[in-house]
């Protein structure tokens, strides 16, 4: 169903022409249908009116928009790969486009990185003394207008921020997909953009775990010193606390990664306690629960049905409040030894939106090499991906049903 805007009212006694795609000043691509009324001079004066212009998008239906917020190095890319896998098809950069594009396109999804809306390149940020986390380094007006256009089924020419050169490259054409995922530092920062989201997720990595991960990566893989790593973290912390972290209060789901409580004084960050915080009352979204919805439950599943080495696995589920909102929280502390045994845990979870028995386990085994596949990060990312698929199907079915109901009225 096309999305149209009529600019004048005209008689149906008209001729019609369809123009070539027009490009707006904000980089939108759309088609115009122009109606011309025939003139009539029967025994008197007659006149012809001007054209009526109707602008229509090419999309069949509105795009469902998902927002994913997190700091850099917190697992956004891994989550995107799990999510696009649920919908099928490999996520790849636009074919024939900029090799340094940040966009990923699969059969049903398009993932755009909000770094592309930086208004300042690397040199510009350095000259002005701001980081990429600072709103002053980002163009929220363009972000809003283009996400709104894509959601309405209109293609846009989206800018590209080149992470290799630190420059702003020429734009790329983004056509409306069935599902648009906007991921980055600020998907929920601007209220206008936030209101366009059909569902939002925040990846909340605690300072202790983030520091442990960064040490493991930057010291082992990049040869950085401990002092330089600490300095890097401290330098961006004020802007993270001011502009990024507050967005989690708006999220429909938060995946919170914390140090384990199973090992006293653990500071290695290898064993994790992960919490899936799910807001109650979100349209098309029912929180996952363990055993009995609304109850408070602690469960240690280790035994003959689940292989667990030290320090074991512990689950917790129950209602709570989060920034004043009623939520349900599912928590896992520890890690799996054998992913094929995950089906035992899966069988005790409800509202996980699977299509068949064991789908969560299948998805986890499919991506066993992804980071977090042996702990709650991979498990909860997979479940949220399945919940987003269910949300998409509910939204599209409701849109299909609406015109049918209207014809019956």
Closest CA to 326 of 255, 379, 275, 277: 277
What domains can be seen in the chain, in order of their start residue? 62-203 (3.40.50.300), 252-394 (no CATH)
235 vs 193, higher pLDDT? 193
**Does residue 91 carry a pLDDT above 70?**
yes
pLDDT, residue 392, reads: 96
Question: Which residues are CB-neighbours of 79 under 8 A, at least 6 positions away?
Answer: 68, 201, 203, 381, 384, 385
For residue 121, pLDDT beyond 80: yes
pLDDT given at position 406: 56
Q: Using an 8 Å Cβ cutoff, are 198 and 282 in contact?
A: no
* pLDDT score at 47: 44
- Least confident piece of the model among 61-75, 209-223, 322-336: 209-223
Using CA atoms, how far residue 170 sits from 63, 97, 116, 157, in Å, is 25, 11, 11, 9
Whether the per-residue pLDDT at 348 is higher than 60: the answer is: yes
**β-bridge mates for residue 298, sequence order:** 316
pLDDT of residue 27: 67
Q: What are the beta bridge partners of residue 156?
A: 28, 174
Share of the chain above pLDDT 70, in %: 81
CA torsion sign for 307, 312, 318, 321 is: negative
Query: What's the chain's average pLDDT?
Result: 85
Q: Write the pLDDT tens digit of every residue in 169-225.
A: 999 999 999 999 999 999 999 999 999 999 999 999 998 888 877 777 667 656 678
Residue pLDDT, tens place only, 131-164: 999 999 999 999 999 999 999 999 999 999 999 9
Which pLDDT value is given to residue 405?
59
In this predicted structure, the answer to whether residue 77 has a pLDDT above a threshold of 80 is yes
Q: Which of 7-16, 55-64, 70-79, 221-230 has the lowest mean pLDDT?
A: 7-16
pLDDT of residue 408: 60
Residues 6+ apart with CB under 8 A from 399: 61, 62
Neighbours of 178 (CB within 10 A): 17
Nearest to 236 by CA among 270, 185, 162: 185
Q: What are phi and psi of 69, to 5 degrees?
A: -115, 140
Identify the pLDDT of residue 221. 59
173/168 Cα distance (integer angstroms):
15
Output the pTM of the full model. 0.83
* pLDDT number for residue 305: 85
Q: Is the pLDDT of residue 16 over 50?
A: no
Query: What is residue 139's predicted lDDT score, i.e. its pLDDT?
Result: 98
């Amino acid at each position: 169903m096309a999305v149209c805007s009529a600019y004048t009212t005209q008689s149906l006694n008209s001729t019609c022409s369809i123009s070539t795609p027009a490009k707006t000043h904000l980089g939108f691509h759309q088609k115009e249908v122009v109606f011309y009324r025939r003139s009539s001079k029967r025994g008197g004066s007659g006149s012809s009116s001007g054209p009526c212009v109707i602008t229509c998008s090419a999309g069949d239906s509105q795009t469902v928009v998902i927002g994913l917020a997190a700091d850099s190095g917190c697992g956004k890319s891994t989550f995107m790969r799990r999510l696009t896998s649920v919908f099928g098809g490999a996520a790849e950069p636009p074919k024939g486009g900029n090799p340094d594009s940040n966009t990923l396109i699969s059969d049903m999804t398009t993932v755009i990185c909000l770094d592309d809306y930086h208004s300042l390149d690397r040199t510009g940020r350095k000259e002005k003394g701001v980081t990429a986390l600072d709103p002053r380094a980002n163009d929220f007006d363009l972000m809003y207008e283009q996400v709104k256009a894509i959601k309405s089924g209109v293609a846009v020419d989206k800018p590209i921020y080149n992470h290799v050169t630190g420059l702003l490259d020429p734009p790329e054409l983004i056509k409306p997909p069935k599902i648009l995922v906007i991921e980055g530092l600020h998907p929920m920062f601007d209220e206008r953009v936030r209101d366009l989201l059909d569902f939002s997720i925040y990846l909340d990595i605690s300072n202790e775990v983030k520091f442990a991960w960064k040490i493991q990566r930057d010291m082992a893989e990049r040869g950085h010193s401990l002092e330089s790593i600490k300095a890097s973290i401290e330098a961006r912390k004020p802007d993270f606390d001011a502009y990024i972290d507050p967005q989690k209060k708006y999220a429909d789901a938060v995946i919170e990664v914390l140090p384990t409580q199973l090992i006293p004084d653990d500071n290695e960050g290898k064993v994790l306690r992960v919490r899936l915080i799910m807001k109650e009352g979100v349209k098309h979204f029912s929180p996952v629960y363990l055993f009995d919805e609304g109850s408070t439950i602690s469960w240690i599943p280790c035994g003959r049905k689940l292989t667990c080495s030290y320090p074991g696995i512990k689950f917790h589920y129950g209602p709570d409040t989060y920034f004043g909102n009623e939520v349900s929280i599912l928590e896992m502390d520890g890690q799996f030894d054998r992913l094929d045994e995950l089906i035992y845990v899966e069988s005790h979870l409800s509202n996980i939106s699977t299509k068949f028995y064991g789908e969560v386990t299948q998805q986890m085994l499919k991506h066993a090499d992804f980071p977090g596949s042996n702990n709650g990060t991979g498990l909860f990312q997979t479940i949220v991906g399945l919940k987003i698929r269910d949300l998409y199907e509910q939204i599209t079915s409701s849109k299909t049903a609406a015109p049918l109901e209207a014809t019956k009225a």
